[in-house]
Amino acid sequence: MKGTLQSAGVADTYRLLMEQVIAGHGLPAVARLLADAVGLPAIVGDDEFDPLHGFAPRGRHLTPEESRLPEEARAALHFDLRNTPQASTAPPTVRTKDRRSNEYVVSPMVLPSGIVGYVWVTDPSGRLGTGVERAVSEAAAACAVEMVRQRAMIEGESRVRNSFLEDLLSGRITSASATRRRARFLGYDLRGDQVVFILDMDSFTTFIDRHDMDESGIQQLKDRFRRSIDACIPGIWSRTLIWEHSDSMVVLAPAGKYDARIFRRRVDTLRENVEKRLAGPSISAGIGRTYADLSKLRHSYQEAEHALRIGTAISGFSSTAAFDELGAYRLLFHLRDQPELQAFCEETLGALERYDEEHKTHLLDTVTCFLDLQGNISETARVMHLHRNGLLYRLTRIQKIAGCDLESPTHRLALQLALLARPLLRKGRRATPLQTVGGEGGT
């Protein structure tokens, strides 16, 4: 191979690269051949410039540090493909340098949907020739062909996986053993407890409207969302099945030795990592309960959906909620559109809300803190930064305005239920956080 490459020279690099792609040797072969062709380190990276494969001449693997494209070199890169009709087959190249004067030639892998990755070579001498630019461009074009092939395979697998999970989570299974066989075909073991969670792009329609996205842009965003999950999930779960459902990703994962709090933290870590990598709309997550009975996994999916919707109503966007932890919210959520719940909240809290708005006071925050601390006067005063007498004055005002008795268990329960229902009635807006307001005698 090496002798053939040296005798062919840079002019025939594209043919040799395409032979490797057609033979199914993939992106690593492209990086290795390019390094041998130009006699310099060559790297194939994703659309975030994270290295996928890097080689020095003669097939030496580059370390992650050696493969990295420095931030200052990235900052100088810009590819405007609007006036480049042959960008897929003849992508442009850009030269850039880092702070140590190492020179780089970078070329994008271009598909109709946009840039899906980059190819670059580096020269510490800072004297890259024009032939290197051509070789990098041809390598990027070969990589684009390989990416088309990989995407076709992934889309085929995705359709099979989506169909399987849709059947499983919609309850359309007729045989548990046949379903487990289908799962094994997809590399997943359905034995033992399973759990479903959902990652959802917040206010997706609003986001695409605000950024004036066309169908191509929307598809690129969804592709980035999926790739972000694919990149982040292996560090948390060794095996999962993912269903791409509208602007959400539905994930089936093994529960293992299930601990609700630990599992929630794992999902929250995944959500935060995906959100950071996506650099687009925020991400929220909902988690269902665990089930070993395959016919009941649809319940876990439904619970994850409810947890997602309730969580964003209570905590706002960029949050994670588990169905197991929702308590009374699970009941109140189903009543959110009932006029009786609206009337109940108005009768219980309406006078306090109006008083706070008119007088710029914090009586609702005070009664919330008081009830959360089970009526402990001293602890409530400490948390609210109030003197004890100041707090007692506020509580007296609350009882008078709301027409309630804070010593009555029935009245306390009514206030707690109304406070829980408030964020649900706001139809998903972020709930007002507790304010800790000082001042000894103010209301």
d(Cα 242, Cα 230) in Å, to the nearest integer? Answer: 9
Place of tokens 């009543």: 335
pLDDT at 2 over 70: no
Residue 439 included in any domain? no
Residue 424: how many other CB atoms lie within 10 Å = 22
Average pLDDT over residues 104-122: 90
8-state DSSP, 10: G
Same domain, 180 and 111: no
The residue with greater pLDDT, 419 or 229, is 229
pLDDT at 433 over 80: no
Name the band, by pLDDT with cuts 50, 70 and 90, for residue 88. confident
How many residues make up the chain in this entry? 443
Most confident range (mean pLDDT) of 3-7, 21-25, 30-34 is 30-34
Name the band, by pLDDT with cuts 50, 70 and 90, for residue 287. very high
8-state DSSP, 235: G
pLDDT at 281 over 90: yes
- What local confidence, expressed as pLDDT, does residue 255 receive? 92
Same domain, 256 and 376: no
Residue 351 identity (one-letter amino acid): A
CATH number at residue 182: 3.30.70.270
What is the total count of domains within the chain?
Answer: 3
Among 4-8, 144-148, 340-344, 429-433, where is mean pLDDT lowest? 429-433
Same domain, 94 and 185: no
pLDDT at 309 over 90: no
3-state secondary structure of 139: helix
Average pLDDT in the chain: 86
Same domain, 278 and 364: no
Residue 294: how many other CB atoms lie within 10 Å = 19
Residue 156 included in any domain? no
Residue 124: how many other CB atoms lie within 10 Å = 11
Distances (CA, A) of 132 to 10, 20, 118, 194, 351: 8, 19, 15, 52, 75
| Spatial CA neighbour of 362 closest among 432, 281, 411 | 432
Residue 430 included in any domain? no
Residue 161 included in any domain? no
Segment 324-350, tens digit of pLDDT: 888 887 777 777 778 888 888 888 988
Residue 436 included in any domain? no
| 47, 171 Cβ separation under 8 angstroms | no
Segment 211-264, tens digit of pLDDT: 998 888 888 899 889 889 988 999 899 899 999 888 899 999 999 888 889 999
Q: Of 119, 150, 181, which residue sits at a domain end?
A: 150
Residue 86: how many other CB atoms lie within 10 Å = 10
| 373, 404 Cβ separation under 8 angstroms | no
Q: What is the DSSP code string of 25-54? A: -HHHHHHHHHHHHHTS-EEEEETT--EEEE
Same domain, 13 and 144: yes
CATH number at residue 354: 1.10.10.2840
Strands 320-322 and 283-287: parallel
The 8 Å CB, 24+ separation contacts for 202-209 are 202/281, 202/282, 202/283, 202/284, 202/312, 202/317, 202/318, 203/281, 203/317, 204/247, 204/281, 207/280, 207/281
| 317, 286 Cβ separation under 8 angstroms | no
CATH number at residue 91: 3.30.450.40
| 323, 303 Cβ separation under 8 angstroms | yes
- What local confidence, expressed as pLDDT, does residue 426 receive? 60
Same domain, 176 and 321: yes
Name the band, by pLDDT with cuts 50, 70 and 90, for residue 85. low
Same domain, 41 and 141: yes
Strands across the sheet with 103-111, in order? 60-61, 51-56, 42-46, 114-123, 103-111, 94-97
Same domain, 17 and 132: yes
Residue 76 included in any domain? yes
Segment 125-184, tens digit of pLDDT: 767 777 899 999 999 999 999 888 887 877 777 788 888 999 999 888 888 999 999 899
Percent of the chain topping pLDDT 90: 46
Q: Supply the range of the domain harboring residue 318.
A: 170-326
| 388, 377 Cβ separation under 8 angstroms | yes
Q: Of 307, 326, 345, which residue sits at a domain end?
A: 326
- What local confidence, expressed as pLDDT, does residue 435 receive? 34
d(Cα 196, Cα 183) in Å, to the nearest integer? Answer: 15
Q: Report the helix count and the strand count for the chain, using DSSP H and E.
A: 17, 11
Same domain, 192 and 322: yes
Tokens in use for 307? 């947890």
d(Cα 204, Cα 263) in Å, to the nearest integer? Answer: 26
Residue 198 included in any domain? yes
8-state DSSP, 435: -
- What local confidence, expressed as pLDDT, does residue 15 receive? 82
d(Cα 70, Cα 116) in Å, to the nearest integer? Answer: 19
Q: Of 297, 326, 355, which residue sits at a domain end?
A: 326
Average pLDDT over residues 352-373: 91
Percent of the chain topping pLDDT 70: 92
Residue 143 identity (one-letter amino acid): C
Average pLDDT over residues 187-213: 92
242 bridge partner residues: 251
pLDDT at 424 over 80: no
Average pLDDT over residues 382-394: 92
Tokens in use for 197? 């969670």
3-state secondary structure of 130: helix
d(Cα 271, Cα 267) in Å, to the nearest integer? Answer: 6
3-state secondary structure of 141: helix
Residue 84 identity (one-letter amino acid): T
Same domain, 121 and 9: yes
pLDDT at 5 over 70: no
Rounded (10°) CA dihedral 93, 97, 103, 104: -30
Name the band, by pLDDT with cuts 50, 70 and 90, for residue 303. very high
Same domain, 109 and 238: no
Residue 440 included in any domain? no
Same domain, 367 and 249: no
